[in-house]
Amino acid sequence: MLKGIPKIIPPLLLKLLSEMGHGDTLVIADGNFPSESVGKGSAVVRLDGHGVPEVLDAVISLMPLDQYVEQPVALMERCPGDDADISIWQTYYEILKRHEGRGPEDCRLLERFEFYEEAKKAYCIIATTEKSQYANLILKKGCIIEGNG
């Protein structure tokens, strides 16, 4: 065991996070996301029994966001005409603020199929059992620089 590693992070995910380099992306997916089919070319880590907010909190405590792009976080935009509850995004903004000093302005919205295409390029997809719709995120990894890690 190691000190300081959130207990929700299994060894495989810790390995993948440390393998990722600057600019690599990571998807944290809700329970409805097609993680296995979209993630055919990526590592897929299942964190069944966990929701996206707790996974985001753990991951972002270890991984810096890309400081060289305006919006290092992408969210799946709600489909037109869909009134699904997206209040979970507020929780994401609070987590991003606490760990990275980031907020809604640092998140871009991607149309559903555009999100899938971006997710196919991810180094890793974390599949959760989150029940909220449109709860998916893509995080772009940044650099550890003197003073931030």
Catalytic residues: 22, 66, 116
Instruction: State the sign of the Cα–Cα–Cα–Cα dihedral 135, 109, 34, 67.
Output: negative
Kind and range of the H or E run holding 43: strand 43-47
The three-class DSSP label of residue 32 is coil
CB-side neighbour CA atoms (13 Å) of 47: 28
Distances (CA, A) of 30 to 16, 27, 126: 19, 10, 9
76 strand-pairing partners: 110
